[in-house]
Amino acid sequence: MKSDKLYKNWIELGKKHCQDHQLLNFYWNKIKKNYSEKKRYYHNLSHIESMLLKAVENKNQLVDYDEILFAIWFHDIIYKATSKKNEEKSADFAKSTLKKITKGILNIDKVYQLIISTKSHKIILEEGNDNGFLLDFDLSILGQNWSVYKNYIQQIRKEYSMYPDFLYKPGRKKVLKHFLNRKNLFFTEKYQCLFEEKARQNLLKELNLLS
């Protein structure tokens, strides 16, 4: 899915809620610019593409499909590796944008909460499986084969290149151990079956490499 296909997907989604094509184009340009920043090696349009494809694949399992799609589009719109407020800033950006391009049909607060949930990767919206699916889409990279996962950890390291190894490695190990200590990495039965075992293998392998 190249940039032109992503653009088409954004416009199709936006037109369901807004007839101002110029406004939709304005926000597409903002989306494209932010996700194409030079220091984004993983949190870029390829990551958005991957999540959107998984949303399409699971459309029949999602209650508020458009809310999920908007949450995907905006969940990393603000991203700075050194910041601890990326999710809050992204959620605020989403809320501000959606108030301008939707006509009250969309549950903007749900989009906001979905984005916030990606900070701790814990479900905060208990009703239905939407929150669980979104988080599973976001973490699906963990359950890929080792070559894909290895490329992912190299991309993450580049995003944190401002930190030398003696600072980066302890922080990364803390993140890995946090995930490994969870009862389940994935929230939906589908992705537990697909990715749970492989994801734990990958996390352990990376942890050993950092030691």
Q: Tokens representing 208?
A: 């050993």
Give burial (CB, 10 Å; 0-12/13-18/19+) of 144: middle
Inter-residue contact 186 to 199 (CB < 8 Å): yes
Residue 138 has pLDDT above 80, yes or no: yes
CA distance 181 to 176: 9
What mean pLDDT is reported for the chain? 96
CA distance 112 to 94: 7
Domains of the chain: 3-210 (1.10.1300.10)
Instruction: State the pLDDT at residue 105.
Output: 87
pTM of the entire structure? 0.96
Residue 9 has pLDDT above 90, yes or no: yes
Residue 12 has pLDDT above 90, yes or no: yes
Inter-residue contact 28 to 10 (CB < 8 Å): yes
**pLDDT tens sequence across 98-118:** 999 998 789 999 999 999 999
**Mean pLDDT value across residues 72-79:** 98
Nearest to 70 by CA among 107, 121, 117, 41: 107
Within 10 angstroms of residue 65's Cβ, the number of other Cβ atoms is: 16
User: Which amino acid, 117?
Assistant: S
Residue 1 has pLDDT above 70, yes or no: no
**pLDDT tens sequence across 16-30:** 999 999 999 999 999
